[in-house]
Amino acid sequence: MSRLEEAFRAAKRDKRAAFVPYVTAGDPSLERTVDIAHALVRCGADVLELGVPFSDPVADGLTNQRAAERALAAGTSLAGVLAAVKVLRQGLDVPIVLFSYANPIVRYGIEEFTRDASDAGVDGVLFTDVPVEEMSLFEEPLAAAGLDPIMLVTPTSDRQRMKATARFGSGFLYLVSRTGVTGVQRDLDAELEANVRAARRASKLPVAVGFGISTPEQVAQVAALADGVVVGSAIVSRIGALGDCEELVDEVEKFASTLAAACRR
């Protein structure tokens, strides 16, 4: 059983949705990302999602775009992110998923990336801009390295597309909560419950919902429906506002603790 499978099963046994926090690796620095990751695990993260900064993040809203800009300005590279994962693996056993666009990985070298990611301790990779029809380029290298391809489905995905996407993926199925880009939203999509049901019918994988979930109240709403809750922009926004200050890690941990607690059903 993979770490991702065990994480979702453990959360289910504990009568809660898995808490999946996202941060942009390298914002404000890779050293601080390591510190923040440890804090997120202390407060209850079941899976860590690390964003690989990219200069043209078309699936991201302004908050994550600015975080990627700060990380790149700080000198963050894909090799640096993998080195940070290796450091995290010395003290953490939680699953780690890299959230990346295709470009950094293709430039790195697909086979070299999958080998190095596996060696570093990465469990899964989510490509934000690669549809299932184009995943064949990555399929064999990911499988050879034992990395789970985490696939995205959206509210506009019909049942046939959801099934095709779910068949390709493993670890969990990531359901985008709404159409559009990442970023805080005031209200959850009125069709979210129906979309979660459709994803469950299409896949035997755990279903985690992300994009725009930003408050404990919203986390609790999603946790009642799905197997996992992904929170990104709300955490990233706090990191951006605080910057590399002494209180950064403690403040992120306090906020994330309220989100993790809301995952309990």
How many CA atoms lie less than 13 Å away from 241 in the CB half-sphere?
A: 9
Taken as a whole, the chain contains a residue count of 265
Nearest by Cα to 101 from 24, 210, 167: 24
Label the pairing between strands 124-127 and 48-51: unpaired
d(CA 175, CA 207): 7
Burial of 187 (0-12, 13-18, 19+ CB in 10 A): exposed
126 SS3 class: strand
Alpha-carbon distances of 59 from 22, 55, 181, 251, rounded to whole Å: 14, 12, 5, 27
251 is catalytic: no
Catalytic one of 14, 27, 46, 49: 49
Contact 230, 174 (CB under 8 A): yes
| Four-point Cα dihedral 175, 178, 180, 186, nearest 10 | -130
Catalytic one of 27, 46, 60, 253: 60
d(CA 118, CA 116): 5
139 is catalytic: no
Q: Supply the residues annotated as catalytic.
A: 49, 60
